[in-house]
Amino acid sequence: MGIYAEAGNRGAGLNFMAWQRPQEVFPMQTNSNSMSGPGGVWLATGTLLLAAALVFHGPPDADLSVQMQNIAEGHGRWATVHWTAAAALFLIAGASFLNLALNPRVRHSPMLSSAWMVMALGALTTFSTAVAEASVVAVAADRGDTNAFMTWWAFSGGMGNGFWALALATALVAYHDARDNVGILPRWAAIVGSAFGILSAAGWTLGEQLGIGIGGPIWLISSLLMCLWLAWYGLSSSSVRSGQATA
């Protein structure tokens, strides 16, 4: 009876292990998603800064006259929020480039390397939006210069489509992590991160491209959650790399 009981226990153990990611059983396996040490820190710092900026940003209004009035009433806060966002986006772009440069496993995956490059370029184009809104747009709204405001708002909106690309890149990185046998985050967390990226891109499309009011709140909330997810991903990835380096 003891032999059968032991065999049953082993079988139950094997069944349990089948539900685990490989790194949960064999922690020393490497992961193609894991970022370089500095890249993970840059990503976490940048996305936490961006999350803070989004908290004070508020959802954009589809009516530009209302949006201009909102900016004029709080142009100082608007400028501060967007300078913070510019710094955050600079760090996110840098994190993406560092990951591409220092992580050969990323370069060997066409899908993953494309996702990180899109994230870098999306962050850079949105960086120009943040700078324009922190300077020219805020001043034009404060002075009531409608022509200048409309011109620079159109520029900001065009370059701001980089955020749409950044969101889709995040969804792709998270999707890749969910599919990977050795994921950085639990599979459920990777799936949730992919959903945040898709919702952020959808909210941007609804609000900025189609002028549908509900798009603004969807974009704001999902982007905030996406940034927090990226910060978690960056910190977790850095800890994985540190563990591999000290092993």
Per-residue pLDDT tens for 20-40?
A: 444 443 333 445 555 667 889
Domain boundaries of the chain, sorted by first residue? 35-234
For residues 17-27, b (16+ Cβ closer than 10 Å) or e, as one string? eeeebebeeee
**In this predicted model, what pLDDT tens digit does every residue of 146-166 receive, in sequence order?**
999 999 999 998 999 999 999
Neighbouring C-beta atoms of residue 162, cutoff 10 Å? 22
* The pair of three-digit structure tokens given for residue 167, joined into one six-digit string: 């969101």
Tell the residue number behind the tokens 């910190």, with chain if given. 235
Q: What is the pLDDT of residues 214-234, one digit of tens each?
A: 998 999 999 999 999 999 999
Question: What's the residue count for the chain?
Answer: 247
Distance CA 116, CA 102 (A): 12
Half-sphere exposure of 105 (CA within 13 A, CB side): 11
0.85 exceeded by pTM:
no
